[in-house]
Amino acid sequence: MQYNRPARNVQGVLMSSTMDMTDITKAFTEASDALGEGELVKDADFTLFESVGALEIMDPKMDSGFLQPGETLYDNFNVSAPLTAEQVVWVMDELFCYEMAWHKGYALLETLYTSVHLDNLLHQELSRARKARKATKSNKSAKDVSIDDVCFRAECETDQAGTEPTQIMLIHLVLRAYCLGLLKCCDLTIRIITSQMYHEEEDFVSQTFNRDLLSEHDTQEIYGFIQSAYRWLGSTGASSIPDKVRAALKDRLFIRQDFLGALEATIPDSNAWRPNRFGAWRDLQRFASDVGSQQQIGQPVLAAFSEKIQRRFSSNTPPRPIFKLTYREAHRDFDHMLESIGEACQLYELPKTSDCALSLLRYVWAFADKSPATLPRAIMQTVLFTEGQVCGRLDFPFERLLRIDLRELVLAGHPLISKSTIDAETSSDPGFRLRQLLDDFIKAAYEPYFKMYEALCQNRCRIRRRLTHIIGEFDSLQDEAKLIDRKVHTITTPESSQGRWPETDSNYPLHSWVSHHKHAMTQWVLQLGFEHDIYEPDELGIMYSVLSQVQAAQLDSNLRIGHFAKLRYTSVPDVDSYERVICGISCELNTVLGREFAVTSSLTGLLKTLYGFLDSLGTLSASSRRYGSAQRRFELRMKALQGCTSETFDFDTLNNGLRPDRGLVDDNFQNWNAVIESTLKELQEVHENISDQPVFRSSKEQWKKQDQLLLETVRQISERFRFLREACKDAGITMIGEGSLKGKVDVIIPPPGTHRIHDWWVVPEVIFTRAVNDVQDHKHSS
Amino acid sequence: MGGDEVRSLPPLPTTLPISEMRALIAKDLSEPYSIYVYRYFLYQWPELCFIAIDTSTPDYDLAACVICKLERHRGGPMRGYIAMLATQEGYRGKGLAKTLVSKAIDLMTEKDADEIALETEETNRAAMRLYESLGFLRSKKLHRYYLNGNSAYRLLLYLKPGVTSIPTDEYFDPYGSDALPPSAQDDSTYHEALGNYDDELFG
Ligand SMILES: CC(C)(COP(=O)(O)OP(=O)(O)OC[C@H]1O[C@@H](n2cnc3c(N)ncnc32)[C@H](O)[C@@H]1OP(=O)(O)O)[C@@H](O)C(=O)NCCC(=O)NCCS
């Protein structure tokens, strides 16, 4: 088969008097004809990146300017043409759907820029800006940012003599105001998102393709337009519009105005008056969700949107397929987005949350758990990272959060933060040296700690990938922590401190603190692996074993931390002192953490046991894999935990640990049942009798939900065991390791999403094989 | 495999049915690749391209093909990369893809590859089953990797022990050799994203 060269079209070359052009077509054609078929001429820098970036001109799939024979570049839609009120509602709804698609990560070109109305306004804005720049150059004092020029202007003015005034107002006042508001919302959205960490293309496309989304115009000015449109709709001039339609138009303008206002108040560096930001977002959510649930009354004007518009943009991407959400989907996304933004902004209203680092971290995790869209994630970063104003609190640098975290977990009552250390003035004072040491540590820990929070504000896939690296940074920090701990220890031992501090700190508090966070992140990375469905059915057992090992290390370090926290608590002489309160909180916090670690560890153990048992019954063995080996695959798995050098994960040990003890099936079941019972009990009690300290208060709701999910998960595990017990009985299997259920029962791994009670805890479905056909529908993988 | 025949290609540029291959692959792609992408692979690693042709048809119809490359990944392990794979609709389910991919893996192994990588759409069950039956594992999920908004999985297969401990060059030119998401082709900020440490160590 011959490779056909695409037809070359060298006609219509651009010429300009200021350019000196040489036509190289002939030379080029001759040179390329001298090449053999398939021969590639490239320099060493021509990479896959370049080859993937190349576009073939005149290939309709790649060349966005390519016109089919007879095709024109423009559609003939007149933006000034009268529309009925119902049609205006429809255009607004379509715009809203495209806006939400853009928020989802699709480019403006394939979403909002398909609107003929927006295209027209953006075009007017472009010429306005150009005129304004010219005027400034020639020193004319033009009012250069007036938005008055940004209005619908048809290519050729049509005679509007016969048009009713109402229809003129609907277009030139109502729809225009809506469009201006929408464009400004996009401008602010881009500003908020790009001021924070996000991934271009993956999360969001900020590119505006050489159009300016009214960035030079003040939000107030656009507000003014929306308000006059709103007022006009209530006036007699609009009385010919049916009530229902008028209300629909007003609702849409209202949402637009409030969205704009809420965005403006959320801009990190804006001087805008900041009303209750949380309230503003919540009110908007309530109202928008009401409107979204109403019957759609718009009447389509299909010609108001055109796929062709993107062709006129200078773009080096192939033409993109238009992406659109339905009205329902768009509202659902909007609702979810507003909910998450509300959660982020709620931190402004909960100053006590940032008084407690661990509860703040938990809050951010709960926020991240709902997979918020990019804008809420950027707003969360604004809330957390605005310079010196964590959660909107004045004089609250992010570093303070780190100090609080250290105090809560490991340093309450410790000489490192004691009053005499803080007050030490002369360099001969040991307290002075201690303070320096703590500062050294803070300096080293700041970045990894900050990154941990920042990671949680990324998309779910990125969270896992980023944490993988941050674990490594904590790992390196741990050595430094140990060094500082030692130095601290030599200063605070009784001999050198002349009895100034009690001997309670032969532990390594900073080292323990690093270890705590490192182990927590290691668990998250593993758990996110379950959530992302990356493990194969026959790996689940060993992955839960790995998790179990990390949890054991975590629990171990928690016990040590808790032990010293208690020692310090009891050695505070003054029972009414602030220090004593701080120590008390730290003790309680560590106790609660310990209970949480213990209970998740039991749950992990149960799943590990279940998978081990299923494997011993021959129900999990995967069909043979042609390449690689179990060892190699395990090595690959452990790559994600490579940063955690303090743990070694040994395949054989973990694998052997998965095998249930030999012996009677019934005996094992009895043991497992006992574990299930005790886990259920642990779960019921894990968050009982906890004081009402602010440290805990904001977490209580979350705990309740979380514990409920875990309880259900354990009950589900219990059902599986019961099922297997019956199945073993049926099959006459009485001894572990003797007999198989292969071919008798099937194991189905439910995919993440709606099929698991909690995405992090994968409880397999187990069914009798003959029933398989009945459940084909939700058979996912086995 | 009946009338089909699997064979390694003679070196370019003699008889490669490049436009047929391109047409076959483009059919299932959500985004078009320029001819340079095909040339990039076929010119540099012709031996790692395998095709199956139906010798029972007069024109020796192309039934399936796989296109790969093999080079050092960020100055570290020798990484094979399966760039494209497709089986013509009427020829699916006969083991063609599995055979071609196995051939490619065998040759890469022979050429001292440490690991083999590829990406596939998260919804592409057929491809995932195929690769997993060969021993690949999903190593990570890539959010909205493709232009159509779909996420992907990176799949990896280790061929030798100790691959994770082969050091990679942290300052290695990230766009020099690694695979790129098609959706990143025009995006200058993607350069920054790649420069980000995130992708450099955990491949
Ligand atoms: C994926 C694709 C290449 C498979 O080609 P194929 O020649 O039909 O595959 P094979 O016959 O060699 O199948 C090998 C294994 O793949 C899996 N598989 C193939 N098609 C499958 C399907 N429709 N559903 C589930 N598994 C499937 C099976 O595990 C099969 O092994 P088995 O038959 O022993 O169970 C083919 O479907 C295709 O061209 N798809 C479109 C392009 C594409 O997705 N390419 C991969 C991009 S990474």
Domain boundaries, chain A: 85-326, 418-534, 557-782
Alpha-carbon distance of B73 to B167, in angstroms, equals 10
Distance from CA of B2 to the nearest CA of A (A): 23
Q: What is the ipTM of this complex?
A: 0.88
- Sheet of strand B115-121: strand arrangement: B4-8, B50-54, B61-72, B78-87, B115-121, B152-158, B137-142
Instruction: Report yes or no: B16 at the A interface, CB cutoff 8 Å.
Output: yes
Q: Give percent of chain A with pLDDT exceeding 90.
A: 66
Name residue A353's beta-bridge partners: none
Alpha-carbon distance of A192 to A277, in angstroms, equals 15
For ligand 1, is residue B15 a contact (CB within 6 Å)? no
Instruction: Judge residue A343's burial from the number of C-beta atoms within 10 Å of its C-beta, 0-12 exposed, 13-18 middle, 19 or more buried.
Output: buried
- What is the model's pLDDT at position A608? 97
Which residues, including other chains, have CB under 8 Å from residue A229's CB and lie 6 or more apart?
A: A173, A174, A176, A177, A178, A253
- What is the model's pLDDT at position A80? 87
Alpha-carbon distance of A216 to A332, in angstroms, equals 32
The number of the ligand 1 atom at minimal distance from the alpha carbon of B119 is 48
Beta strands at B115-121 and B78-87: parallel, antiparallel or unpaired: parallel
Q: Which residue of B has its CA nearest to A536?
A: B137
Distance from CA of B119 to the nearest CA of A (A): 13
Question: Is A201–B134 a contact, with Cβ atoms under 8 angstroms apart?
Answer: no
For A631, the 3-state DSSP assignment is helix
Least confident of A41-50, A369-378, B190-199: B190-199
Q: Which residue of B has its CA nearest to A47?
A: B176
* Contact of A208 with A112, CB cutoff 8 Å: no
Least confident of A259-273, A511-525, A638-652, B148-162: A259-273
Q: Give percent of chain A with pLDDT exceeding 70.
A: 91
What's the DSSP call for residue A547? H
A344 closest CA partner among A304, A386, A301: A386
The number of the ligand 1 atom at minimal distance from the alpha carbon of B120 is 48
Question: Is A202–B42 a contact, with Cβ atoms under 8 angstroms apart?
Answer: no
Q: When comparing pLDDT for A54 and A110, which is higher? A: A110
Alpha-carbon distance of A169 to A163, in angstroms, equals 10
Chain B residues inside the 8 Å CB shell of A48 = 37, 40, 175, 177-180
Least confident of A670-679, B30-39, B73-82: B30-39
Question: Is A52–B37 a contact, with Cβ atoms under 8 angstroms apart?
Answer: yes
- What is the model's pLDDT at position A606? 97
Alpha-carbon distance of B129 to A414, in angstroms, equals 56
For ligand 1, is residue B120 a contact (CB within 6 Å)? yes
What's the DSSP call for residue A294? S
Question: Is A534–B37 a contact, with Cβ atoms under 8 angstroms apart?
Answer: no
pLDDT in tens, A44-102: 777 788 788 788 888 888 887 788 888 877 777 889 889 999 999 999 999 999 999 99
* Contact of B140 with A469, CB cutoff 8 Å: no
The number of the ligand 1 atom at minimal distance from the alpha carbon of B100 is 12
Q: Tell whether B28 is covered by a domain.
A: yes
The CA distances from residue A19 to A14, A24, A28, B134, in Å, are: 10, 15, 20, 58
- Main-chain phi, psi angles of A745, to 5 degrees: -125, 150
Q: Residue A721: which H helix or E strand, with range?
A: helix A700-731
Q: Tell whether B193 is covered by a domain.
A: yes
pLDDT band at B11 (very low <50, low <70, confident <90, very high): very low
Q: Tell whether B164 is covered by a domain.
A: yes
Instruction: Report yes or no: A623 at the B interface, CB cutoff 8 Å.
Output: yes
Chain A residues inside the 8 Å CB shell of B136 = 628
Q: How far apart are the first and last CA of chain A?
A: 43
Instruction: Report yes or no: B167 at the A interface, CB cutoff 8 Å.
Output: no
Chain A residues inside the 8 Å CB shell of B176 = 47
Q: Which residue of B has its CA nearest to A473?
A: B197
Helices (runs of H) and strands (runs of E) counted in chain A: 25, 2
CA of B98 to the centre of ligand 1 (A): 8
Rg of chain B over Cα atoms, rounded to whole angstroms, equals: 17
Instruction: Report yes or no: B29 at the A interface, CB cutoff 8 Å.
Output: no
A505 closest CA partner among A553, A446, A422, A571: A571
Q: When comparing pLDDT for A6 and B114, which is higher? A: B114
- What is the model's pLDDT at position B5? 55
Report whether pLDDT(A683) > 90: yes
Two tokens at B169?
């060059």
Name residue B138's beta-bridge partners: B155
Alpha-carbon distance of A251 to A257, in angstroms, equals 10
What's the DSSP call for residue A305? B
Two tokens at A63?
């060349």
List the 471-500 stretch of A: residues with Cβ below 8 A of B: 472
Least confident of A427-436, A576-585, A689-698, A760-769: A689-698
Q: When comparing pLDDT for A275 and B181, which is higher? A: A275
Report whether pLDDT(A593) > 80: yes
Average pLDDT on A656-661 reads: 90
Average pLDDT on A528-546 reads: 97
- Name which of A104, A207, A532 is nearest B141 (Cβ-Cβ): A532
Length of chain B: 203
- What is the model's pLDDT at position A158? 60
CA of B92 to the centre of ligand 1 (A): 7
Instruction: Report yes or no: B171 at the A interface, CB cutoff 8 Å.
Output: no
For ligand 1, is residue B116 a contact (CB within 6 Å)? no
pTM of the model: 0.90
Selected residue of A58, A461, A538 to mutate for chain B interface (largest B Cβ count, 10 A): A461
Q: Tell whether B34 is covered by a domain.
A: yes
The CA distances from residue B16 to A388, B34, B65, in Å, are: 63, 17, 11
Report whether pLDDT(B172) > 60: no
Least confident of A302-311, A334-343, A677-686: A302-311
Average pLDDT on A697-714 reads: 92
Instruction: Report yes or no: A316 at the B interface, CB cutoff 8 Å.
Output: yes
Alpha-carbon distance of A626 to B131, in angstroms, equals 10
For ligand 1, is residue B64 a contact (CB within 6 Å)? yes
Two tokens at B54?
């139906």
Alpha-carbon distance of A310 to A304, in angstroms, equals 14
Distance from CA of A714 to the nearest CA of B (A): 28
Report whether pLDDT(B1) > 70: no
Q: Which residue of B has its CA nearest to A638?
A: B164
Selected residue of B30, B71, B163, B189 to mutate for chain A interface (largest A Cβ count, 10 A): B189
Distance from CA of A769 to the nearest CA of B (A): 21
Which of B92, B151, B156, when mutated, tests ligand 1's pocket best, judged by the most ligand atoms within 8 Å of its CB?
A: B92
- What is the model's pLDDT at position A74? 77
A581 closest CA partner among A447, A697, A691, A443: A691
| CA dihedral over A331, A333, A339, A344, signed as positive or negative | negative
Within 10 Å of residue A342's Cβ, how many Cβ atoms?
22
Strand positions, DSSP E, B2-146: 4-8, 50-54, 61-72, 78-87, 115-121, 137-142
Chain B residues inside the 8 Å CB shell of A626 = 102, 133-135
- What is the model's pLDDT at position A15? 47
Beta strands at B50-54 and B4-8: parallel, antiparallel or unpaired: antiparallel
- What is the model's pLDDT at position A164? 82
List the 179-208 stretch of A: residues with Cβ below 8 A of B: 199-203, 207
- What is the model's pLDDT at position A50? 79
Q: Tell whether B84 is covered by a domain.
A: yes
pLDDT in tens, A478-524: 999 999 999 998 888 766 555 555 544 457 999 999 999 999 999 99
pLDDT in tens, A290-321: 999 998 999 999 999 998 888 888 666 777 78
pLDDT in tens, A706-741: 999 999 999 999 999 999 999 999 999 999 888 899
Report whether pLDDT(B187) > 50: no
Mean pLDDT of chain A: 88
Which parts of A460-539 fold into alpha helices (H)? 460-492, 494-497, 509-531
Alpha-carbon distance of A728 to A717, in angstroms, equals 16
CA of A640 to the centre of ligand 1 (A): 28
The number of the ligand 1 atom at minimal distance from the alpha carbon of B121 is 48
What's the DSSP call for residue A410? I
Report whether pLDDT(B183) > 50: no
- Main-chain phi, psi angles of A420, to 5 degrees: -65, -30
Instruction: Report yes or no: A648 at the B interface, CB cutoff 8 Å.
Output: no
pLDDT band at B97 (very low <50, low <70, confident <90, very high): very high
Alpha-carbon distance of B126 to A605, in angstroms, equals 33
- What is the model's pLDDT at position A460? 97
The number of the ligand 1 atom at minimal distance from the alpha carbon of B82 is 48
Selected residue of A41, A55, A202, A329 to mutate for chain B interface (largest B Cβ count, 10 A): A202
Two tokens at A126?
């472009």
Q: Tell whether B203 is covered by a domain.
A: no
Q: Tell whether B131 is covered by a domain.
A: yes
Question: Is B134–A51 a contact, with Cβ atoms under 8 angstroms apart?
Answer: no
Average pLDDT on A570-578 reads: 86
Cis peptide leading into B11, omega within 30 of 0? no
Two tokens at A192?
């908020």
Selected residue of B185, B191, B199 to mutate for chain A interface (largest A Cβ count, 10 A): B185
Two tokens at B157?
């297969």
* Contact of A516 with A556, CB cutoff 8 Å: no
For ligand 1, is residue B96 a contact (CB within 6 Å)? yes
Report whether pLDDT(B196) > 70: no
* Structural domain boundaries, residue B76: 4-198
Cα atoms found within 13 Å of the Cα of residue A172, Cβ hemisphere only: 18
The number of the ligand 1 atom at minimal distance from the alpha carbon of B130 is 16
* Contact of A557 with A515, CB cutoff 8 Å: yes
For ligand 1, is residue B85 a contact (CB within 6 Å)? yes
Q: Tell whether B65 is covered by a domain.
A: yes
Chain B residues inside the 8 Å CB shell of A472 = 201
* Contact of A664 with A735, CB cutoff 8 Å: yes
Report whether pLDDT(A30) > 70: yes
Q: Per the structure, how many domains does chain B have?
A: 1
Average pLDDT on B182-202 reads: 33
Mean pLDDT of chain B: 80
